[in-house]
Chains A and B, each alone.
Chain A
């Protein structure tokens, strides 16, 4: 069994590697410097990222326009694969920047001393909870949401929180069978983060949730976008624990979709960026971080519905106090390491698997 699992993992790696072999490259249209000369040598900034290309493309384009001497090679990777890739390359990193929504894995990289220290006026301005050791910086703050297809949703009224959802699932058990989607915490780093934070926040509710998911044959996904697609297509009634910015953008353009921020508590997660310790071209990486945190890009994220800017973090915290329901910000600090404890992680995944009635091989 174990060897079979290893082969499978190796196959997945090979597949991902083949995907990654072909990054999307952005460079300035006019490869001329201010003096009108061609750049002698164009530097390349390699970015490994979990952010969907759709959401990041405008930012990358803006960057190469601002810094025409740099071209950006963007590698879109799943958050768990990203962690393994960085660890594999730790002695000779290819990437200059690691962008991920799996906060716990990012923090583990920093704790294990694989990140480089970077300081600028932009990073100084970040609130304490949005950075750690000046080695990891959050650039967006996103609510974790549920997304429903309201046309197909039974019972007429949409759930406001997790308990509502459990009740509706009990009343319309048949309708939900095979129609609920959530992250596969074994494959997705951010999926694991959100599940473990759910378990931390409300252990009892979480237990009931996964029991219900298991009895209704929940579908598991690698990524938020695939889940949204299936909800939109009607293959799913509800997606649970989706990244807010993606869901928000799709719900805006699709009347069938409704985004729900659970009123019992809403998790707020951050996307973070770090520079590997031995990264090439760390100078451009620093520029990119400052660029991400700049007023211009932060407002671009908001206006284009790309991501929720971290610049509003303090505002979001204030808002969360005024709102009728509590929010829980997942902060960038040492506590995230607990979720990734070896023993805790395997125990958590085992209990998740058994509750969802999935075999280990799935």
Chain B
């Protein structure tokens, strides 16, 4: 016993190890999403900081270029330039960056600046429109601004081109300082978010743990509902658990009652068996002894039957608890039951008659239980009809009728026996209640029928047959499939 529980615990531990963790999944997917977002953000920041640095330093570059442009002048009929000091002091704000420039005109060619700095802008040249671009020069990547415009001096035709460039040191410094700071912030946010997710996951899953703990701490027999304030998400779980426990509790109660009553029920025939056996033992003549033994055999058969019925009921109960209800043809089921019972009934001189206003009617049900129910009902009807008014033709008949309604179908089993008194009608479905002790039976049958009917959401009732006898009818709800067809 101990070893078994130890290995059980081991198995549980192993299973727990293999089982996917909800929390881990939650954290991993959260962290994954955050990482992707962070990577995208970092990438955007990289591009953005480059653009921002270029934007700000391009303004300086353009401002210097325009200052130069304003100082283009004509000198002895040739174009020249008097670069203002302020132009380069503007550029000196990028304090470590080298400066390159070149001024030329369409007429005279090179005017001043770096002779080796030659360049055509990437886009087709457009007069008066400055263009910015990068180019390698003097062993470094430099940023250039290019401007070509018409000469406005008198007597000089053509255009003048100014190229002004600076190295990218300050731009890179600015971009990387923006990037560094932004990346720091992004990483910090990402880490904080992941930590929050981890904490949050603990908080979110906590109600589950609380329910788990509560269940673990319970006494084995405690099936009372869980009284725990839970969030909406676990409320349904709690309700489901409570329903489940309620069902379990009911089952247990039933089982307890059933066991007690079965035992009680078996004790009487056993006692009588014992009396018969003692009687047989004490008989002196063989004839009487044989008679007594015959009685014992009969009693044993009855006992055996009772046990079979008890077992059947146990099976039915079990199936009703465990099996799902599926769509079934009630007509076909009844036909089968009638055929099975017909011969046995005839032997007792009873005719079974089956009438149905439909050839097929679908209900949700469990085949074995329904079968048992029908067998019981028929068996009962036959049993209570037999030996009554043999002269009357009607009394030897048990009728089975199926009548379909809009929402339900009614199954009626009609006998013409002695009938059931009004004050007993309510009690016939109690377990071990027998209306007529003259007639053999366990008293279990109708109780089981009621149980099966309940499980099928059927309404069962007992009425009188005219002129005499009893009618038991069960109303089953009809099954409609999804299209609303029968």
Q: List residues of chain A with CB under 8 Å of any chain B CB.
A: 110-113, 128, 132-133, 200, 333-335, 337-338, 341-344, 347
Q: A113-B139, A333-B92 are in contact. Are A342 and B113 (CB under 8 A)?
A: yes
Q: Chain A's interface: helix, strand, loop or mixed, by majority? A: helix
CB neighbours (8 Å) of B95 from chain A are 128, 132, 333
Q: How far is the CB of B74 from chain A (nearest CB, A)?
A: 12
Q: Does chain A have a CB within 8 A of B340? A: no
13 CB-based A-B contacts, threshold 8 Å: A112-B138, A113-B140, A132-B96, A133-B96, A333-B89, A334-B98, A334-B99, A337-B88, A337-B99, A338-B87, A338-B88, A341-B83, A343-B83
CB neighbours (8 Å) of B82 from chain A are 343-344, 347
* Complex-state Cα separation, A112 to B99, whole angstroms: 9
Closest to B80 in A: A343
* Complex-state Cα separation, A342 to B92, whole angstroms: 19
Q: List residues of chain B with CB under 8 Å of any chain A CB.
A: 75, 80-85, 87-89, 91-92, 95-99, 103, 111-113, 138-140
Q: Chain B's interface: helix, strand, loop or mixed, by majority? A: mixed
CB neighbours (8 Å) of A341 from chain B are 81, 83, 112-113
A347 B75 Cβ-Cβ under 8 A:
yes
B80 A335 Cβ-Cβ under 8 A:
no
* Complex-state Cα separation, A337 to B85, whole angstroms: 9
B112 A343 Cβ-Cβ under 8 A:
yes
B80 A347 Cβ-Cβ under 8 A:
yes
* Complex-state Cα separation, A128 to B97, whole angstroms: 14
Extra contacts besides A341-B81, A347-B80 (10): CB < 8 Å: A333-B89, A334-B92, A338-B84, A341-B83, A341-B112, A341-B113, A343-B81, A343-B103, A343-B111, A347-B75
A111 B113 Cβ-Cβ under 8 A:
no
Of all A-B residue pairs in the complex, the 9 with the closest CB atoms, nearest first, are: A343-B112, A342-B112, A334-B92, A333-B92, A335-B88, A111-B98, A338-B88, A343-B80, A334-B88
A113 B85 Cβ-Cβ under 8 A:
no
CB neighbours (8 Å) of B83 from chain A are 338, 341, 343-344
Q: How far is the CB of B41 from chain A (nearest CB, A)?
A: 34
* Complex-state Cα separation, A147 to B165, whole angstroms: 42
Closest to A334 in B: B92
Q: How far is the CB of A234 from chain B (nearest CB, A)?
A: 38
CB neighbours (8 Å) of A112 from chain B are 138
Q: How far is the CB of A92 from chain B (nearest CB, A)?
A: 18
Q: How far is the CB of B218 from chain A (nearest CB, A)?
A: 75
* One of A111, A335, A342 near B85 (C-beta < 8 A): A335
Q: A334-B91, A335-B92, A341-B83 are in contact. Are A113 and B75 (CB under 8 A)?
A: no
* Complex-state Cα separation, A95 to B92, whole angstroms: 29
Interface centre among A133, A337, A347 (most CB of B within 10 A): A337
CB neighbours (8 Å) of A133 from chain B are 96, 98
* Complex-state Cα separation, A133 to B97, whole angstroms: 8
CB neighbours (8 Å) of B81 from chain A are 341, 343-344
CB neighbours (8 Å) of A128 from chain B are 95
CB neighbours (8 Å) of B113 from chain A are 341-342
Closest to B103 in A: A343
CB neighbours (8 Å) of A113 from chain B are 98, 138-140
CB neighbours (8 Å) of B139 from chain A are 113
* Complex-state Cα separation, A111 to B99, whole angstroms: 7
CB neighbours (8 Å) of A334 from chain B are 88-89, 91-92, 97-99
CB neighbours (8 Å) of B75 from chain A are 347
CB neighbours (8 Å) of B99 from chain A are 111, 334, 337
A335 B89 Cβ-Cβ under 8 A:
yes
Closest to B166 in A: A334
* Complex-state Cα separation, A110 to B95, whole angstroms: 13
* Complex-state Cα separation, A333 to B75, whole angstroms: 29
Q: A333-B92, A341-B112, A342-B112 are in contact. Are A200 and B85 (CB under 8 A)?
A: yes
